[in-house]
Amino acid sequence: MAEKANDIRPGQVLEHNNKLYLVASIMHTQPGKGGAYMQVEMKDIKTGTKHYERFRSDANIKRAILDEEEYTYLFSSSNTLTLMNPKNYEQIVINEDLLGDKKVYLQSDMNIKIVMYEGNIISAHVPNYVTLVVEETEETIKGQTVSASYKPATLENGLRVLVPPFIKAKDKVVIHTPDDSYYERAK
């Protein structure tokens, strides 16, 4: 979809130089001499490298239209994940590297968001919040709860996070997956 550079917004995906870029930030500049331009900070979707580009304000830019679908995680084998579309029960196999370091959160029957461009899978995402069991954590020392100190805990998937002092072993906690942090005690 072609549009003017003035219409670029953070979060959009652009197709530029035969690559897909996620727009991180924009700055509209109108110098005293010459035409106005947009300074755009972008991130290459495949490699993750930052790229800076200047576009004339009236330049035509191609915005990429991405398709997102929810799939259910079934199982892993070697370096692949088998997922199923819950609408038509069609199964697909993807490389586990699409999840990056978030593959530690995989659980049976978890919904995985698949992002596609022109029929090709470009990324996969686990949910933003995942419930896990605390395997091991330090005991709370009496009086320690007065301050807002956190203590280390090891979760069932091997991940180490900081949790509040009232969390004990075998408690279920909700983890915010984008930054691998404690969110709340599971209800």
How does pLDDT run along the chain (187 residues), one tens digit per residue? 668 888 888 888 898 888 889 888 899 888 888 888 889 999 988 888 899 999 988 889 898 888 999 999 999 988 899 999 999 999 999 988 888 888 899 998 999 999 888 888 888 899 999 999 999 988 766 665 555 688 899 999 999 999 998 889 999 999 999 999 999 999 8
Query: Exposed/middle/buried for 5, CB within 10 Å: 0-12, 13-18, 19+?
Result: buried
Residue with the two structure tokens 């180490």: 160
Q: What domains can be seen in the chain, in order of their start residue?
A: 2-63 (2.30.30.30), 67-125 (2.40.50.140), 129-185 (2.40.50.140)
Query: Exposed/middle/buried for 88, CB within 10 Å: 0-12, 13-18, 19+?
Result: exposed
Contact in structure between 103 and 96 (CB atoms under 8 Å): yes
